[in-house]
Structure 1
Amino acid sequence: LMYYHVDEMAKATKEIGLRAVLGETVIKFPVVDAKQPYGGLEYAQKFITEYQHDPLITPAFAPHAAYTVSKQKLQQINTLSKKLNVPVLIHVGEFGNEAARINDNPKQLSPVAWLKDIGVLDQRMVLAHAIHINQADIDLIKQSGAGIAYNPMANAKGATGIAPAWEMYQQRVPMGLGTDGPMSSNQVDLWRTLSYAANMQRLKHNDRTIMIPEQVIELATIGGARALHMDDKIGSLEVGKKADVIIVETQSANMMPNYNPYATLVYQANPSNVTTTIVNGNIVMEQRQMVHVDTADVTRHIRTIETDIAAFAKELAKKAITSPSLMK
Structure 2
Amino acid sequence: MKYRKLGKSGLKVSEIGLGSWLTYGSATSEEDAKACIVKAYDLGINFFDTSNSYPGAEAVMGGALKEYPRSSYVLATKLFFPQGPGPNDRGLSRKHIMEQCEASLKRLGTDYIDLYQCHRFDNETPIDETLRALDDLQAQGKILYSGVSEWSAAQIAEASGISQRLNLRPLVSNQPIYNMFERYIEKEGVIGQCQQEGLGLVVFSPLAQGVLTGKYKPGQGIPAGTRAANDQTNWVINSYLREDVLNCTAELSELAAELGTTLSQFALAWILRQPAVSSAIIGSSRPAQVEENSKAIDLVLSPETLERTEAILSKISHFAPMR
Structure showing greater Rg: 1
Please indicate the TM-score interval, normalised by the length of the shorter structure.
0.3 to 0.5
Q: TM-score, normalised by structure 1?
A: 0.43
Q: TM-score, normalised by structure 2?
A: 0.44
